[in-house]
Structure 1
Amino acid sequence: MINLISKLLLFVLIVSAYSSLAAQESSEYQRLAEIAVIEQKVMMPMRDGVRLATDIYRPKGDAKVPVIFSRTPYNFNPYGDGEERTRTYTSAYEAVSRGYAYVVQNERGRYFSEGKWDILGVPLTDGYDAFSWMKDQEWCNGKIGTYGCSSTAEWQMAVAALDHPSHAAMVPMGYGAGVGRVGDIYEQGNWYRGGAQQMLFTAWLYSVQHDPMAPRLPEGISTEDLRRLQRFYDMSPEYPRVDWKEGLAHLPVSEIIENQQGPKGIYEDMIQRKPNDPDWYKGGLYHDDMVLAVPSFWFCSWYDVSITPNLALFNHARKNAAPDVRDHQYLFIAPTLHCRYTRATENTIVGERSVGDARYDYDALIYGWFDYWLKGEKNDVLEKTPRVTYYTMGSNKWQTAEQWPPAAAKMETYYLDSEGGANSLYGNGKLTTTMPKTDRPDSFTYDPHNPVMSYGGNVCCTGNAVEGGSFDQQQMETRNDILVYSTPPLAEGVELTGSVECTLYISSDAKDTDFTLKLIDVYPDGTAYNLDETIQRVRYREGYDKEVFMKEGEVYKVDLTALSTSNYFAKGHQIRIEVSSSNFPRFERNLNTGGNNYDEAKGVVAHNKVHHSAKYPSQVRLPLIRN
């Protein structure tokens, strides 16, 4: 009897939940239907005959309107559960009520779209062909703006380089996985940092790449059938949930998805690519030899996985975009996690740290931008909008500048120093403006089977493996394989805004290893909040087009990929950096063998040293703004 009652209660709860969802969808749909013409599952043809599933929401009447276009690998089917789906009607209503057509489309091979999926939805011509199709519609005024965060943003840059005449403006947000190579940064879509794999893509691809055995709808299916099917069947597989804290620990890394009985796909190919593999230059990534030709409003976050390459791309666009759009590049930086702009509150907590009231009227900002470029409104948006708007943590305030970094930021060099015992929070490491005279290197043992575990950080998409944001690092700093270097308590406050550069002089008894760096704000009570982090695989210290291994007893210079932030260190605080050889599973472990790493299951212990002296001036260069 008890089991029967329990089953009945469960049934009632399920029915109630679905009824509530249906009512919400009905309400949102009806509100939108009052102002919009709704056309769902329009199969937009590409030049090779493949058709992409597209939903169109446009104002009623005969007026020609501009388009806000969102292209995504995610499921936007409004019939069903999930934030991405229930947001469709809300986003469409906002756009249509402001006089825009809102068009959302699945990349090829995703859900109802035909073809074979590849990351970033290549070929690039799909974006170009979509622009051509939309601008020829009788309801379109010929102006198209692209908009979205993360995977709905990352495809925009490479397509913008194709210079379609109707692509009038773009708003990429959290767009780092679309950045391939910019200058000396070779992240290849966030796959790498300093030549070490960022493990977020292992977890992400588990549930995104297609299982080749999964059923597909027949090509050529009619729009009428698709509209009927979408109400009860959306081709969205429910992969079993994975405990990624355990899952990402599996070795070799090439078999992680297979070990979870996940689908085989592009992961098995991508994991074998080196940072400068020719295949990175054949897909949908933007590289710095492509000429951006579109006015762009770039949105970034301090605790996003890709803040440094994002800022590098903005500066690259300011200098190297098509001449007529170089001055039409704007930047906005929020103190949030990946794509969490609108989740800021009166007391915004990022991880454990409060960064104050970080709210902002994003709709006014973005639609003001689109109104100018797509509607031709004379709203003075270019004159009224600062070139750069950024949030400074610590002082917890929005600031503006005419360039990045702000002109007031001046690089100051701080040297690593110790008495040979910078190990842990209790060691004698220090950051000083005076170069050490005697080399008393700091030594530590790095065991890839007992790595330093990630705690907070600038990350996304790793499931339960890493929680992003700022967390007190004190407990982590009790490990002897973390070297800790701190300034004395500051006699007066100082703002650090820009990119932190780091040069280490290192040695090891291993052929290859990694060196990691964290930037920390230490409060007077000892609380140590992380700001940004980076890593460098030593074999790539001379460039990503070659591998150069170490010899025991020799000292090597290693320049790490820059860190980026804006933080006010108040009086009494300390500026701290941590140096180690692992930050796992934020970054893949180096097994220290000098082998491929991706196909290896056993590592060797490395005995690593950081040298600091006049001959080996290990240092960080800090962009400081002093009153």
Structure 2
Amino acid sequence: MIPMRDGVRLHTVIVIPKGAKDAPILLTRTPYNASGMVTHMVDGHESAHMGPALQGYDNAVDTIIDGGYIRVIQDIRGKYGSEGDYVMNRPLRGPLNDTPVDESTDTWDTIDWLVKHLPQSNGKVGILGISYDGFEPLMALVHPHPALKVSVPMNPMVDGWMGDDWFHHGAFRQQNLPYIYEQEATRDNTQHWWSAFHDDYDLYMHYGSAGAMGKAYGMEQLGFWNKIVEHPAYDSFWQQQAMDKVLAKEPLKVPVMLVHSLWDQEDIYGAPAVYRALEPKDTHNNMVYLVMGPWHHGQEIEDARSLGAIQFGSDTGTYFRKHILAPFLAHYLKDNAPPNPVAPVTAYRTGANQWERLQSWPSGCAHGCAIQPTPFYLHADGKAGFQAPTASEAKDTSYVSDPAKPVPYRARPSQPVGYDGGLTWPQWLVDDQRTFSGRTDVATFVSPVLDHDVTIAGMPKVHLVASTSGTDSDWVVKLIDVYPDQVADDPQMGGYQLAVAMDIFRGRYRESYAHPHPLTPNKPLLYRFELPTANHMFRKGHRIMVQVQSSWFPLYDRNPQTYVKNIFFAKPKDYVKATQRIYHAPGEASYVELPVVEKH
């Protein structure tokens, strides 16, 4: 029970290798039960070995054991064995936190105690973690302890409104309601969410709005839920705690390795955003590192030969741990440090299935490449390509969006968010999009068969000219790799529609994320937003597809398509059908700007 500066004690599990001397410390701070991450039971029997004991935590145990590290796992304030009050993603001391403590001070106090009370250590500490545990290494960078020598945020929660856990461009991720409920209701997560429906699609339709559902579950008793409902727009509540914005104002004192999953189904915004914030400070290109792998959220510490139906031909997770994470940690934490062999950017190119060592991101390739922003136009009659539309083709494509029949984000039945019991939540971003391309409320545009490889590296930018007959609207845009009908070495992939980058944008924020406005009905308006980072090769013989739709349910709450002050409190009468139009005419052309890699 390590004491913090305000007297609150935090429960901490310390696992020391037998005979350890001058050993570095690897710290993880978690809201997910430190004791549960360590076990002495292996196949029903007690074990005194460190490897089996840590298997309860993660599969990166190979890196920990082989490196001879002292492993420290701590319950954050207010969770499980720790004292104090829990606040979801507790903000830094300041306008959003009037107490004398935050996750930064708790990390500082913990490290200070560890280096003074563990004689087996060399006094060097590294902090690492995934997701919420990845948010903690970012907080550790604010006024860092001198003993902190390296930080490894993996799939971190960074900006909950722009594109991580709670919203994406203003659309609320309502399938995270159970997470908020279980995480906040009790110290040890013993109060569990329940459902009377097999299909989450039916569950969320039953309650109508996310606000009505929260009320039915008694969530007004939960502080963080009330904050979400009170702050549907990107106001100071969200902006002041966005970690990329926080760290952009801080001096760069500790080497950082940001680890990102290209198909991160939970926190796909965060790591690249922090990289963009920190990289300009790294004047010698030796403090900020970025790793991007072909993974779901956290898959870098698991077997990563495949994701869903997509095969990579090798275990990319083992490669990361052995050739990137292990030597990186050793360089910064061990005495007589070995050289650091890790490139500033290590990026896996999906489609080509190969790792690249780069000096920066996005740079396209190691030598002789440039990124050329290239419009990929949406044409009438479901066509798409790199040629701009002409005046002779139809000026728009239309569909009817009906909130009573929203477009599913997965083939039904919609599973709940989760990792246990056969749930396939981690792979939804690579689901075959053919399930949706035939729907009349999904506009589909596809290119001719490619006669050469097309590689993109960076964030595709949506430039959608569209109108709605309503006064509010959501726009979901999907960039898709369409496989040939015949794939000789993998027949199940014939015609597969693999999403490369997808996201949603809530129309009311077209002019300002902080100040929503109703839309003018039936008027063509420009919607601009970025899709998640991609590093992908569309192979010769494949096609490039874009799908556009106006709901993505039940992952995101339904837009009523009638402007209301706060969608959390939309009434049944507010939900109306709307005719959506996507425009193609010269001067009103819709396209996705692709960051195409061109070799000189």
With normalisation by structure 2, the TM-score equals 0.82
Structure 2 CA distance for partners of 1:85 and 1:111, relative to 1, 3 Å: farther
Q: How does 1:338-487 map to 2 (within 5 A)?
A: 338-345=297-304, 348-359=305-316, 360-364=318-322, 365-381=324-340, 384-407=341-364, 408-419=369-380, 421=381, 428-437=382-391, 440-455=395-410, 462-463=417-418, 466=425, 467-487=427-447
Structure 2 CA distance for partners of 1:98 and 1:241, relative to 1, 3 Å: same
Between the aligned partners of 1:64 and 1:355, the Cα distance in structure 2 is 39
Structure 2 CA distance for partners of 1:290 and 1:572, relative to 1, 3 Å: same
Deviation at 1:395, TM superposition (A): 2.0
Q: How does 1:121-160 map to 2 (within 5 A)?
A: 121=90, 123-124=102-103, 125-139=105-119, 140-160=121-141
Aligned residues of 2:159 and 2:238 also touching (Cα < 8 A): no
Q: How does 1:200-239 map to 2 (within 5 A)?
A: 200-211=175-186, 235-237=188-190, 239=192
2:580 pairs with one of 598, 608, 619: 608
Between the aligned partners of 2:172 and 2:397, the Cα distance in structure 1 is 26
Deviation at 1:521, TM superposition (A): 0.7
Counterpart for residue 561 of structure 1: 530
Structure 2 CA distance for partners of 1:76 and 1:262, relative to 1, 3 Å: farther
- 3-state SS of 2:230 partner: coil
Deviation at 1:415, TM superposition (A): 4.5
Structure 2 CA distance for partners of 1:89 and 1:204, relative to 1, 3 Å: closer
Of the structure 1 ranges 166-175 and 402-411, higher mean CA displacement relative to structure 2 is found in: 402-411
Aligned residues of 2:391 and 2:585 also touching (Cα < 8 A): yes
Q: Partner amino acid for 1:67?
A: I
- 3-state SS of 1:598 partner: helix
Between the aligned partners of 1:574 and 1:93, the Cα distance in structure 2 is 40
Deviation at 1:600, TM superposition (A): 1.8
Q: Partner amino acid for 1:621?
A: E
Aligned residues of 1:429 and 1:483 also touching (Cα < 8 A): no
Between the aligned partners of 1:146 and 1:418, the Cα distance in structure 2 is 49
- 3-state SS of 1:203 partner: helix
Counterpart for residue 581 of structure 1: 550
Deviation at 1:163, TM superposition (A): 2.8
Aligned residues of 1:155 and 1:284 also touching (Cα < 8 A): no
For residues 105-142 of structure 1, the C-alpha deviation after alignment (integer angstroms, 9 at most, x for no partner) is: 00111111111111135523222222222232252433
Deviation at 1:166, TM superposition (A): 2.0
Aligned residues of 2:158 and 2:270 also touching (Cα < 8 A): no
For residues 544-578 of structure 1, the C-alpha deviation after alignment (integer angstroms, 9 at most, x for no partner) is: 12112211232211102233222222222101111
Counterpart for residue 249 of structure 2: 290
Counterpart for residue 165 of structure 1: 146
Between the aligned partners of 1:261 and 1:545, the Cα distance in structure 2 is 28
Q: Partner amino acid for 1:127?
A: T
- 3-state SS of 2:78 partner: coil
Is 2:499 the partner of 1:530?
Answer: yes
Structure 2 CA distance for partners of 1:190 and 1:450, relative to 1, 3 Å: same
- 3-state SS of 2:34 partner: coil
Deviation at 1:252, TM superposition (A): 2.1
Aligned residues of 1:517 and 1:579 also touching (Cα < 8 A): yes
Between the aligned partners of 1:598 and 1:465, the Cα distance in structure 2 is 28
Deviation at 1:488, TM superposition (A): 0.8
Between the aligned partners of 2:355 and 2:163, the Cα distance in structure 1 is 31
Between the aligned partners of 2:409 and 2:343, the Cα distance in structure 1 is 36
Between the aligned partners of 1:312 and 1:368, the Cα distance in structure 2 is 25
- 3-state SS of 2:245 partner: coil
Q: Partner amino acid for 2:131?
A: S
Structure 2 CA distance for partners of 1:472 and 1:68, relative to 1, 3 Å: same
Deviation at 1:330, TM superposition (A): 1.2
Aligned residues of 2:154 and 2:271 also touching (Cα < 8 A): no
- 3-state SS of 1:303 partner: coil
Aligned residues of 2:159 and 2:269 also touching (Cα < 8 A): no
Aligned residues of 1:198 and 1:586 also touching (Cα < 8 A): yes
Counterpart for residue 275 of structure 2: 314
Between the aligned partners of 1:196 and 1:577, the Cα distance in structure 2 is 20
- 3-state SS of 1:280 partner: helix
- 3-state SS of 2:113 partner: helix
Structure 2 CA distance for partners of 1:263 and 1:70, relative to 1, 3 Å: farther
Between the aligned partners of 1:60 and 1:475, the Cα distance in structure 2 is 54
With normalisation by structure 1, the TM-score equals 0.79
Deviation at 1:86, TM superposition (A): 5.1
1:105 pairs with one of 74, 94, 113: 74
Counterpart for residue 491 of structure 2: none
Counterpart for residue 231 of structure 1: none
Q: How does 1:45-60 map to 2 (within 5 A)?
A: 45-60=3-18
Aligned-pair identity in percent equals 25
Aligned residues of 1:154 and 1:179 also touching (Cα < 8 A): no
Structure 2 CA distance for partners of 1:131 and 1:247, relative to 1, 3 Å: farther
Q: Partner amino acid for 1:598?
A: F
Question: Which of 1 and 2 has greater Rg?
Answer: 1
Between the aligned partners of 1:167 and 1:461, the Cα distance in structure 2 is 38
Counterpart for residue 459 of structure 2: 499
Between the aligned partners of 1:128 and 1:274, the Cα distance in structure 2 is 33
Q: Partner amino acid for 1:128?
A: W
Structure 2 CA distance for partners of 1:398 and 1:587, relative to 1, 3 Å: same
Deviation at 1:598, TM superposition (A): 0.9
Between the aligned partners of 2:40 and 2:4, the Cα distance in structure 1 is 28
Aligned residues of 1:474 and 1:528 also touching (Cα < 8 A): yes
Counterpart for residue 221 of structure 1: none
Aligned residues of 1:509 and 1:608 also touching (Cα < 8 A): yes
- 3-state SS of 1:394 partner: coil
Counterpart for residue 169 of structure 2: 194
Between the aligned partners of 1:90 and 1:607, the Cα distance in structure 2 is 49
Deviation at 1:296, TM superposition (A): 0.8
Aligned residues of 1:72 and 1:106 also touching (Cα < 8 A): yes
Structure 2 CA distance for partners of 1:404 and 1:109, relative to 1, 3 Å: same
Structure 2 CA distance for partners of 1:385 and 1:260, relative to 1, 3 Å: same
Q: How does 1:326-337 map to 2 (within 5 A)?
A: 327-337=286-296
Structure 2 CA distance for partners of 1:497 and 1:96, relative to 1, 3 Å: closer
Structure 2 CA distance for partners of 1:255 and 1:107, relative to 1, 3 Å: farther
1:248 pairs with one of 182, 200, 204: 204
Between the aligned partners of 1:461 and 1:370, the Cα distance in structure 2 is 36
Aligned residues of 1:110 and 1:117 also touching (Cα < 8 A): yes
Deviation at 1:173, TM superposition (A): 0.8
Between the aligned partners of 1:511 and 1:103, the Cα distance in structure 2 is 53
- 3-state SS of 1:155 partner: helix
Q: Partner amino acid for 1:207?
A: E
Structure 2 CA distance for partners of 1:392 and 1:84, relative to 1, 3 Å: farther
- 3-state SS of 2:475 partner: strand
Between the aligned partners of 1:587 and 1:89, the Cα distance in structure 2 is 30
Aligned residues of 2:478 and 2:546 also touching (Cα < 8 A): yes
Aligned residues of 1:516 and 1:580 also touching (Cα < 8 A): yes
Aligned residues of 2:377 and 2:384 also touching (Cα < 8 A): yes
Deviation at 1:285, TM superposition (A): 4.3
Aligned residues of 1:155 and 1:285 also touching (Cα < 8 A): no
Of the structure 1 ranges 519-528 and 362-371, higher mean CA displacement relative to structure 2 is found in: 362-371
Deviation at 1:614, TM superposition (A): 2.0
Is 2:594 the partner of 1:619?
Answer: no
Structure 2 CA distance for partners of 1:102 and 1:80, relative to 1, 3 Å: closer
For residues 287-342 of structure 1, the C-alpha deviation after alignment (integer angstroms, 9 at most, x for no partner) is: 25432432111111111033344223212211136x67x63111111111110124
- 3-state SS of 2:533 partner: strand
Structure 2 CA distance for partners of 1:436 and 1:159, relative to 1, 3 Å: farther
Q: Partner amino acid for 1:87?
A: G
Between the aligned partners of 1:93 and 1:565, the Cα distance in structure 2 is 29
Structure 2 CA distance for partners of 1:302 and 1:368, relative to 1, 3 Å: same
Q: Partner amino acid for 1:237?
A: T
